Amino acid sequence: MNEQSVYLHRILVVIKLDADRLFERISERYPEYIGIYSLKRTRDHFSRIFDNRFSQLEIRELAVIAPELNVALDNFYSLSEQMNWYLYTTEDLPQAMSDRVLRYISELKSMLETINIHIEAELSS
């Protein structure tokens, strides 16, 4: 494995872990963060749910990744940001909010599966 392959491998592993953990926080903590919002009407806790490392990557790191994977990553992280914005700005009642969050989670799950297929293909080549 040459130096560039090692570099790509490391970036892919970090991205995979980041996307997986972000999705886990969004999906598994869903009852908690909706519950906190419903009871306290605070949005302070959302930043901890949506924190990710992908937003800290530089163009040079993304440039070594296959274009198809970059598109899949952009779709996933854009939707998670859209969900975050919705949660910060919504005036929906908790039940409507919960329904919409479940739709976001369903879409994110599908997008994460696509990301993982691309990453596994790149890691195995």
H helix or E strand, kind and range, residue 31: helix 30-40
Query: Tokens 């949005």 map to which residue?
Result: 43
- For the chain, how many structural domains are there in total? 1
Contact of 77 with 52, CB cutoff 8 Å: yes
Give the pLDDT band (50/70/90) at residue 52: very high
Indicate if the pLDDT at residue 67 is higher than 90.
yes
Query: Tokens 């598109």 map to which residue?
Result: 71
Give the pLDDT band (50/70/90) at residue 35: confident
Q: Looking at per-residue confidence, does 3 or 67 come out higher?
A: 67
Identity at 90, one-letter amino acid code: T
Identity at 115, one-letter amino acid code: I
